[in-house]
Structure 1
Amino acid sequence: MRLVSKLFLAVVLSGSAAVANAAPLLEPSLHIRQGGDSPRVAVTLDACGGATDSRILSALVQYKIPATIFVTGTWLKRNAPSLDIMRAHPELFELENHGGRHIPAVDSPRKIYGIRSAGSPEAVLAEVETGAAALTKTGEPAPKWFRGATAQYSPSAIALIRKAGFKIAGYSINGDGGSLLGARETARRVSAAKDGDVIIAHINQPTHAAGEGLVKGLLALKDKGYTFVRLDDVDGDGTDDTTN
């Protein structure tokens, strides 16, 4: 038993050392290039899984606010009516790749915000490729952008994804804190966007207060004369070799 305990401790310590010595994760930023007669921002919304926040989707349609929606294969299976609404408004919605099963694009074993990473280069590529296939299966064009679960990546995973032909969508404003912020703070963050900012928020949490705040923040920007663009409408500059 004593030998077994020592072996178990050695394995645990070895695993801890491997995580500690692993390359630090990157959370790339992204800005769109400024230009035009009015300040511009890009609204990017993650549809990780679960349902659809109709407050957000309805507001985007009603007020004609374009957005780039990053969808997982899981979300696509569960939200056909919402997908139909988005596809009915191609002038507003650009659908892009959020992965097959919402697994962080990190090619070493670890957890990010409690979510287990892909863990290997092969698993990272599988997450990217199955996400793209899920989109094209619906009849959508092949996606050009990828955003991994948690928006954090290992440097080597970024290289893999870029080699696969995808630009990686970072952001410059975390609008809703993973949909966990209250309505007031979400509205404050979003309405504070500046020319060239890329906002990240979530459209898959209809019971969270953040959705209400997101709508208020976007309408505040609209009232100030901001123009909303999708990522494919403009040039973007991402850090960490994510868009070059």
Structure 2
Amino acid sequence: MNRFLLTSAFLLAAVPAAFAAEPAAQPVVWPQLPPKAPTSNVKLVEPHLHVNRAGKGAPRIALTFDACMGKTDPRILSTLVDQQIPATIFVTARWLRSNPETLAVFLAHPDIFELEDHGQNHIPAVDVPTKVYGIPAAGSPQAVAQEVKGGADAMVAAGIPQPRWFRGATAKYSLSAIAQIRGMGYRIAGYSVNGDSGSLLPAKMVEKQYASAKDGDVIISHINQPTHAAGEGVAASILALKAKGVQFVRLQDIPEKGDDDTTN
């Protein structure tokens, strides 16, 4: 009996000692995440633009194309030239450097093509730090001015008349940037029908977008993606609109009306 009590006492004494020998648990230290970049709450607008309606008779539509960077879609270019379809082309300085042959075609057909400013480096014309569709914006009034002026200077250096219209990358703007660009002497080209969603739509969807255009609409599409299916839809849609008797106009040919004080 005494031996049992002694053994029990020894075990009870050893238990706390065993726990005391365990090292104290260390607090979990989580890795520090980098601070989030400040997000801008600035309001961005995507202005609409219409040309004056024809009213009676053939509907009037303005075709506009962005040449952001990259190459030229020959399906669209040949359709415009062969069919003598007037269009307004917005070119960047980056695109001009890579497409001298297409520029020569544009300049050889001043009755068809109106060339306007799409910026120097295809940077959104937003004067605060932010991103638009993942693209870093200009971020300051000085950078907006450089984007606009740099594009225009490259155009004039390439033998293009001084532009009167500007369309920024992504076609989104801060209201203060709109006022700044208007103060530089430019109208800002919005649109009313998105023809190809950045040249990302399949051909059949492009055809549906074009078919929805009405009298006075301004269609935006892209002429710089020769490998995209959208170009096939654009070319087919131009022919379909022509077959319906549409009167095609350039922005310089007809009075227009844009919202957000882009043309007033």
TM-score using structure 1 length:
0.93
Whole-angstrom distance in 2 between the partners of 1:187 and 1:167? 29
Distance 1:62 1:139 in 2: 24
Q: 1:83-232 alignment to 2 at 5 Å?
A: 83-232=103-252
Residues in 2 aligned to 1:85 and 1:223: alpha-carbon distance in whole angstroms: 25
Q: Give 1:33's aligned residue.
A: 52
User: 3-state SS of the aligned residue for 1:200?
Assistant: strand
Q: Offset of 1:5 from its aligned partner?
A: 4.9
TM-score normalised by L of structure 2 = 0.86
1:192 positional shift: 2.0
- The separation in 1 between residues aligned to 2:32 and 2:160, in whole angstroms, is 54
**Structure 1: which amino acid aligns with 2:206?**
T
Which runs of 5 or more structure 1 residues have no equivalent in the other structure? none
- State the aligned residue count: 234
Show the counterpart of 1:54: 74
Task: Verify: 1:236 aligned to 2:256, yes or no.
Answer: yes
Identical columns (%): 57
Distance 1:215 1:196 in 2: 20
* TM-superposition CA deviations, 1:79-114 (whole Å, max 9, x none): 000010111110000000000000000011111111
Offset, 1:35: 2.4
SS of structure 2 residue aligned to 1:221: helix
What whole-Å deviation, never above 9, does each CA across 1:133-188 have from its counterpart, x for those lacking one?
A: 01111111100000000000001000000000000000000000100000000011
Displacement of 1:239 in angstroms is 0.5
Partner of residue 23 from structure 1, selected from 16, 39, 42 = 42
Q: CA deviation at 1:191?
A: 2.1
Residue deviations 1:22-70, cap 9 Å, x none? 2210000000011274211000000000000011000000011100000
Give yes or no for contact 1:191–1:218 (8 Å, CA) kept in 2.
Answer: no
Unaligned stretches of 5+ residues in structure 2: 1-28
2:94 corresponds to 1:68: no
Q: Give the letter aligned to residue 230 of structure 2.
A: A
Query: Whole-Å Cα distance in 2 between the matches of residues 191 and 139 of structure 1?
Result: 35
> Aligned AA for 1:194?
K
SS at match of 1:136: helix
Q: Distance between the aligned counterparts of 1:64 and 1:191, measured in 2?
A: 20
* Aligned CA-pair RMSD: 1.5
| Aligned-partner Cα distance in 2 for 1:41–1:131 | 26
Q: State the distance in 2 between where 1:178 and 1:152 align.
A: 13
1-side partners of 2:238 and 2:191: how far apart? Answer: 16
Q: Which residue of 1 aligns with 2:13?
A: none
Contact 1:187–1:215 at 8 Å: present in 2 too? no
- CA deviations over 1:186-227 (Å, ceiling 9, x no partner): 011112210000000000000000000011111111000001
